[in-house]
Structure 1
């Protein structure tokens, strides 16, 4: 028979691993009530860090779509569509919203664009049928290009 290892008694409440939603509600209520001694600090810290990473990943995702469509516009202008212009506008707006809500991410813009470009390059090659080497290995666009280069939606549209 194997001896059981002594463990620290569980904190009252729902375990993080068993019911994440209920755990979040309990932790929020404890914070609001000032019941700091019963907080699950290790998991709370991990979740807070995860929230920050999620915001960064949203920014990367938005720039990825913008860059993919910019590459497609530049390398296959004969196949450029109105849909591509809309995609650029929509995802630029999403990226700007993330930056407005989390201005601290502005200092990580170059890193976000670098991550986004690597994936955008692969997607552009796949979607255009062009070889991967057609697309520069390093992002050819400035932050200003990415944020505001015009891509008209309608023939008489001169706005970005």
Structure 2
């Protein structure tokens, strides 16, 4: 990449995002702070944190949905549900390891994500809405605990293979 950029030659943020990112990175490395697109660059950096929060919330919602199905449809437990539960816990843990400041974020999102996961569980299971708790019956420590599985105990050979 040409390391000499003139301000008028820089790619506008709206025109080509990938090229804009490459140019902004090069300008930072060269110490050409006055040539940076500071407003858009600041917005992008702030959005990185929001992206991790969205990912944690999405994964938490998926995890809660599968915990509900696991608990309330014990006779239909599938290997895929187990894998999804484990995957979501693992990925949430990785995100928190990479950004320790987000450690309390799953707890803050638990009620909100449970509310939607409950509705999705009703739709996916066909069970009556009244059969599911209105408030999250799980503590966040349990939700994220790799050994926690709600409902009746299970053995791996009891799972329906997908």
Q: Are the equivalent residues in 2 in contact too, given 1:66–1:91 (CA < 8 A)? A: yes
Residues 58-67 or 22-31, more deviating: 58-67
Q: Which runs of 4+ in 1 moved over 3 A?
A: 149-153
Counting only pairs closer than 5 Å after superposition, residues 58-73 of structure 1 correspond to structure 2 as 58-73=55-70
**Structure 1 residues 76 and 60: alpha-carbon distance in aligned structure 2, compared to 1, 3 A threshold:** same
Q: Summarize deviations over 1:77-136 as a string: whole Å, max 9, x none.
A: 121222211110111101101111111101322223233222211211111012333322
Structure 2 partner of 1:3: none
2:148 to 134, 147, 150: 150
Q: Which runs of 5+ in 2 are unaligned?
A: 1-6
Q: Which runs of 5+ in 1 are unaligned?
A: 1-9
The TM-score normalised by the length of structure 2 is 0.82
Residues 104-113 or 83-92, more deviating: 104-113
Counting only pairs closer than 5 Å after superposition, residues 5-154 of structure 1 correspond to structure 2 as 11-148=8-145, 149-151=147-149, 154=156
Question: RMSD between aligned alpha carbons?
Answer: 1.9
Separation of aligned partners in 1, 2:155 and 2:33: 53
The TM-score normalised by the length of structure 1 is 0.83
Separation of aligned partners in 2, 1:94 and 1:18: 33
